[in-house]
Chain A
Amino acid sequence: MRWPRALETGIACGIVLACVAIGARRARADENYFGYSYGSETLPKGAFEAYSWMTWRTSKGQGSYNALDLRQEIEYGITDRLQASFYLNERYLSIDGAAPFEEEDGVETPEYPDRNEFEFQGVQASLKYNVLSPYKDPLGFAVYVEPGWSRVFKITGEKQNEWSLEFKGIFQKNFLDDQLIAVLNITPELEVRKFIGGGNKWETELALEATGGLIYRIAPKWFAGVEVRYHSEYPDFVHELTREHWATFVGPVIHYGAEKWWATLTVLPQVYGAPQDDSRSTTLHLEEHEKLEVRLKTGINF
């Protein structure tokens, strides 16, 4: 079977990141200890960092569902407290019989078709400002804003035109000589989207997310811990604030940091979600989430 051209582009992006690493000269970082949660530190002024994000989402309790969200990020320290990032996103979706069925004129049809595609997904940019240092102040704190645009719907792969605006409040508390790190992120995100071929109707949605984690330095360069993610969505929140669905994920995280690069792996199985489709699971919400998410982040400093 021939690989989609975009898939090859994804591998090329990884090679480019490696080449950037080879050319790295100066060593500075704002590395991520967690896959989903941010710390409150920012890059020093004038420093750059390149990231590669890979998130594998799999299993909807029916048929076969595999999604790979790829992201390449460049981060720059504008001042010692303010950093800017730019993101490129791609998405690979392999769906085979995983869509829920809806009845139309007495005939049951899947809500979205099977597909096997790798596509450019969209772009984002962000600003992060460090208000309090986790090393000097009783509690580290940063604020974050991220506008974005997406052309592929995350769950189904349907083409869309989506604009989003995400805010984060980032808290970090260090313990035990800064060897034990706790973080908490509170993230509201506003989204408006229109599906291509779906008329002129714009949908609005509010996503509320809380992520957090605890990680400890178990050996030089190695950290291990646990990460938690709660995600909920409120469609058409402008007219009525009703939580349509939610899911909670809990799993281990491991982080390795060398002088010029670092890597973080988080494995997050869904532990509970609602509403449930009993034919798929009696404890998990699998229409808009999956049973398992695995995220690998690598960062290179230059």
Chain B
Amino acid sequence: MRPVDRVLLLLVAPPALVLTAMPARSAQYLSTEEAQRALFADANRFEPVPVALSEGDRDAIAEVSGTRTPLPLGRIWRAMRDDQMLGHLIVDEVYGKHEFITYAAAIDASGAVLGIEIMDYRETHGGQVRESSWREQFRGKRRSDALELDADIVNISGATMSCKHVTEGVRRLLALHDVALKGR
């Protein structure tokens, strides 16, 4: 075997072994239905809410948003208990390091966050954003709040990127709620 062949073999062999040994794993923690039940336990039905935004609405949302992922306009539901509206549930995506982080936010009729759930998280690190103690910080937050890391949302060391992007995502959803969902 020529030396250059040996070199090529050495370049290829270890990563090939790793690639075959390490199939990618997805981690979906909650389906949409499970997130709906987790965030609106008293609701007995969820109605899709179609939303169409004007350019002005989009600009107003973009002004407060730090995230560039598409707005989740087709993933908004009204949580109902009989004829009473409990709030809105929105399923959104923000950038993780490699994949998207999918999360759901529940917002009441007055525009306050009732809670968030991480539905899909497939990143190498930063999974601590799933911990309830961190998610609990968003309860009661409104559009008027800063929703900034190290200001009114505590960061988790080693999970900074995920904390930052989820925080920016919730800030955007509060703006979306204020612009398009309040009173609907």
Contact = CB atoms under 8 A, between A and B. Distances in A.
A136 interface: yes
Nearest to A18: B17
Given A54-B11, A263-B15, A45 B157 contact: yes
B68 A17 contact: no
Nearest to B100: A220
A81 B7 CA distance: 37
B95 A136 contact: no
B52 interface: no
B17 A44 contact: no
Interface stretch (B40-48, B84-92, B110-118, B158-166): B158-166
Q: Interface centre among B4, B21, B99, B165, by most A CB within 10 Å?
A: B21
A58 to B, nearest CB: 8
B130 interface: no
A27 B4 contact: no
A259 B158 contact: no
Interface stretch (A153-161, A172-180, A192-200, A228-236): A172-180
Give the interface residue-count category, chain B: 35 or more
Contacts of B125: 27-29, 44, 47, 301
B134 to A, nearest CB: 15
Contacts of B68: 176-177, 179
B17 A15 contact: yes
B18 A80 contact: no
A107 interface: no
A11 interface: yes
Contacts of B165: 177-178
A66 to B, nearest CB: 6
A47 B158 CA distance: 10
B27 to A, nearest CB: 8
A22 interface: yes
A43 B125 CA distance: 10
Contacts of A22: 21-22
A7 B15 CA distance: 16
B22 A66 contact: no
A68 interface: yes
A3 B4 CA distance: 13
B21 A262 contact: no
A29 B160 CA distance: 13
B13 A11 contact: yes
A28 B124 contact: yes
B122 interface: yes
Contact of A221 (B1, B15, B98, B161): B98
Contacts of B98: 217, 220-221, 257-258
A21 B22 contact: yes
Interface of A: 1, 3, 7, 10-11, 13-15, 17-19, 21-22, 24, 27-29, 31, 43-45, 47, 52, 54, 56, 66, 68, 70, 77, 80-81, 92, 94, 116, 133, 135-136, 176-179, 217, 220-221, 257-263, 294, 296, 298, 300-301
15 contacts: A14-B13, A27-B127, A29-B124, A29-B125, A52-B15, A68-B10, A80-B158, A133-B160, A135-B164, A178-B161, A178-B165, A220-B98, A258-B98, A259-B24, A260-B22
